[in-house]
Every structure is written in C-alpha cells, then in structure tokens.
Amino acid sequence: MSAPTAAMPGTHDRPARHTQFLSRYGTVLAAALIFVGFALATGKFVSATNIANILVQVSVLMVVSSGLTIAVASGEFDLSVGEVASLAGVLSAGLMVWAGLPVIIAILAPMLVGLIIGTISGLLVTRLRIPSLIATLAMGPIALGINYAYDGGDSIYAAFPDTFYYIATGRLFGVVPVPSVIALVVVAVNYVLLNRSRLGRAIVATGANIQAARLSGIRVNRCRLIALALSGLGAAMGGIMLTARLGTGQPGAGEPYLLDSLTAVFLGMTAFKPGRATVQGTLVGVVIIGMLDNGLNLLGAPFYLQNEVRGLVMIAAVSLAVLRGEIRFF
C-alpha cells in the first residue's frame, strides 16, 4: 500500500467529544481563521472581485486535485498529474493552432490522452505490480517526453477560438466565472462518485483495507486502475483549463500542480473524515492554498514566502493528523 490510509488503532478508546469535533472540523476552522486573518490585515481581501478572483485562481487546482483525491482514496499515489496537465495543455493548444481542429476536439482529445496515461499507470500498478508511487513517477517523464516531442519544448503562442477562452474567462449568467462552475461540477461529480456510487464505495474500501476488500469480493485491481485513470483525466482537464487561462500552450505550465494538489489532498485528509481522502476535504485544502497565495500577494509578501508557507501548512496538517493517529503512512 503506498498512499496514506486511515490508522488502524488497536485500542478503541473513544476520543472526547471536543477533540472529535476538532479533529473533524479543525482544518475548516483553520481555513476560517486564515480568511478572518487576511480580512483584518487587508481590506482588499474580502472584496467581491477578489473573492471571485480567488475562486477562478483555485479552479484549475481543484480539478487536478479532485482526480488525485480519487487515486489517494483508492490507496494509490499519482505523481504524474503535473506532467499530464502540461501535456494536455499543449496538446489542446496545438490541436487548435497547428491542426486547426474544432474546439470540442481540442478539449476531448487531450482528456482522452490523460485518461489513457492514467490507465497505463493503473496497468503498471495492477498487472506489473509496480507501486503506484514508482509507476506514476515514471509516467511523469514519459508524458513530459511526449510533450517536448510535440512542441519541441517551445510555447504555442497564437490566438485560440473565442469559444475556447470561454472556459477560462466566461461568466455564466454574466456573473459566475465559468472555471469555478467547472470546478464545482467536478467536485459534485466526485462527491457523488465517492459517496453515492457503488464504484466509489468499492474504491474507498480498497483504499481503506485492500485485503479485506479483496476478501469481500471487490475487484480491487479494477478499482485501483479506474482510480488512477480518473486521476489522469482530472489532471488533463486541469491542464486544458490552464491553457485557456494563460492563452498559450506552455510545456511546463502544469508542473507546480503536483505539489499543490498533493498538499490539498493531504490537508483534506485532516478534515471531515480524518484519515480519508474526500473531495469535500480536498476542496477545503484547495481553498486554504488559494487564500494563502492570494492573501500573501495582496500583503506584498515576497513571492518565495508563498512556497514556505505552503510547505509549513502541509507539515503542520499532516503531522497533527499523524500525532493524533488518524493517518498512517505505509
């Protein structure tokens, strides 16, 4: 098992009610505190434009992290999400600019590519029995190689069709930013998948205890494969959204999303259902990262401070969960 899983305490002493509350909602509370903190520190933070800004900024991360959440829920890691996002982004740009294909193809084809890469990772994990940590680590450079082979390592600059920009800058009913709508739809679909569907239940069971899942008649390898495939799909969708936002197809654009999405998922594992990767938890994690980036920016903090803070937040969240025995690694 490579991904962190809920701890298996030998004892069953029940935590006191307030600690239980803290362990479930502590991360949400932290998010609220961060919000209040920035709101007090700078008046610009709570303005409608800025909040809309944050929502747009985090939407790509949310989509990528949703896919990763499913992988982690199934007990697997996906370290290729950054490279897959990059590849999907440049493919999408290239298909429109160089191949002159319609926008719908330029969106669906890269998504398919992401799904295929995820499926290959899944096959490596389930057929060749390579730990997902290693299989996806290897698939990353492979995706990057295809990326460079396609674009020669250069960005794809050119005007895209207007309909393509709609996924980044459009406003639904003239107000709601389209990328946020996409992110929310992805969250909703993921929520239903993990909480309401049979497949999702099987995936969560596989991640919680693979041996028990197998002995329950759950086809655990199928679950792991699908989870990794969906992770690839999520990464590809994020990459396409990113290209639309940047207005160019940049070969390295998706790279930072690996660490960000892992941080979001781990933060999420400390919320609501401690020790479990849930999409609602990941949402909280994504929002925390988005607020920190945005707030520090508004305060005029040097750019490197964002990275420091992000790292510290991840260490704090995970170590708290480990100390309280909620998450167990390996």
The interface region with other proteins, picked from 2-10, 108-116, 131-139, 175-183 by CB under 8 A, is: 2-10
Interface with other proteins, residue 219, by CB under 8 A:
yes
Q: Which of 47, 216, 307, 319 binds other proteins (CB under 8 A)?
A: 216
Residue 291, CB-side half-sphere exposure with 13 Å CA sphere:
23
Rule CB under 8 A: which of 193-212 touch other proteins?
196-199, 201-202, 204-205, 208-209, 211-212
Pick 8 or 41: Cβ nearer other proteins:
8
Q: Which of residues 6-25 bind other proteins (CB under 8 A)?
A: 6-10, 12, 14
Q: Nearest approach, Cβ of 56 to other proteins (angstroms)?
A: 32
Task: Tell me the CB-side half-sphere exposure of residue 51, using CA atoms within 13 A.
Answer: 8
| CB-based contacts of 14, cutoff 8 Å, min separation 6 | none
Contacts of 175-184 with CB under 8 Å at 24 or more apart are: 177/52, 177/55, 177/56, 177/59, 179/56, 179/59, 179/60, 179/241, 179/245, 180/52, 180/55, 180/56, 180/59, 182/59, 182/63, 182/237, 182/241, 183/58, 183/59, 183/60, 183/62, 183/63
- Cβ distance to other proteins smaller for residue 44 or 219: 219
**Is the Cβ of residue 8 or residue 33 nearer to other proteins in the bound state?**
8
| Closest distance of CB 207 from other proteins, Å | 9
189 binds other proteins (CB under 8 A): no
Q: Is 280 in the site for other proteins (CB under 8 A)?
A: no
DSSP 173: T
Number of residues that bind other proteins (CB under 8 A): 31
Q: Give me 282's structure tokens.
A: 């990941």
Q: Where is 178: in which H helix or E strand?
A: helix 178-196
Six-digit token pair at 192?
């239903």
What are the residues binding other proteins (CB under 8 A)? 5-10, 12, 14, 192, 196-199, 201-202, 204-205, 208-209, 211-219, 273, 275-276
